[in-house]
Each structure stands twice: as structure tokens, then as C-alpha cells.
Amino acid sequence: MKIFIDADGCPVKEEVYRVAERYQLKVILVANKWMKLPPNHLLEMQVVTGHFDAADDWIVEHSEINDIVITTDILLADRCIKKQVRVLSAKGEEFTEDNIGSAVAMRELNQNLRHMGENRGGPAPMDKTARSRFLGKLDQIIQSIRQNKT
């Protein structure tokens, strides 16, 4: 089991590092530019270059069943779910086969509203409640994967 982080703009990297240390899980941060990581043998930085979705493509190509992807990118989440990879948003919502379709549809709707000038602003900022929800859900996913592997 590995954790992949869609690292550009991910607000919960530090939380993932702590959980990974506790469970001794490898974490691969994927981004378009190099980021400084704390010294830890469990952390790996993967810099991708090229087209706009290069980081997404790399994550999809290298993740597999029993891995976890941390992302706020709905389209990346959809691609990972199709590979049976577990996907968690930074705010603690797990994307699943049951909810990804409505998440993709809502993304499209919001994008259309933004283009029409009807929807301004982005998601609410991270707060302690969202960070706590994220940590709880990440722990739950890890436990679930471990139980299903035995």
C-alpha cells in the first residue's frame, strides 16, 4: 500500500506525513515542480513535466489496487476509481463508484456557472474540522485496506 499525493496545492501534506510515519507507508508526492520534503525515507518526490495533466497521468499509471490517492481533482479521482484505487479529498470525502458520477456532474455545472459569471470564488478554506475529518477518514481507509488484505 502506497499513498500518492496530487501535491500541487494539497493542504494536507503534513497530515499525510504523520499518518504514513505511524503506519510505515510510502508516500509519493507528484507535482509539476520540485517541493522540499522533510527528511524521511518514506517520502518520495516525483516531478513530472509536459502537458497540463502530466501529474494526473503519472499517478494513474503508477497507482494500483490497495493504494490511496489524495486529490481534490475530480477527474483524477474518477480515473483512479476505475482502477480500484481508493481516493480521498483533502477535506476528508472519499470518492467512490457510488458518488463520483455526481461529483463529476457537479464539477461540470460549477465550471459552466463560472464561465457564465454566476459562480465566483472557490472552495471554503481548510479548517480544523476538515483536517480532523481528513485524518479520521485516511485512518479508516488504511485500516479497511489492511483488513481486506488478510
Task: List, for residues 64-109, the tens digit of each pLDDT value.
Answer: 999 999 998 888 999 999 999 999 999 999 998 777 666 656 656 5
pLDDT score for 7: 94
pLDDT score for 122: 58
The order of strands in the sheet holding 68-70 is: 43-47, 26-31, 2-6, 68-70, 86-88, 94-95
Place of cell 500518492: 4
What's the total number of domains in the chain? 1
The CA-to-CA distance between both ends of the chain, in Å, stands at: 13
What is the pTM assigned to this prediction? 0.85
Number of CB atoms found within 10 A of residue 132's CB: 12
List the CATH number of the domain containing 78. 3.40.50
pLDDT score for 143: 96
8 A C-beta contact, residue 92 and residue 134: yes
23-55 pLDDT per residue, tens: 999 999 999 999 999 999 999 999 998 888 899
Out of 2-6, 123-127, 134-138, least confident range? 123-127
- Structural domain of residue 54, as residue ranges? 2-149
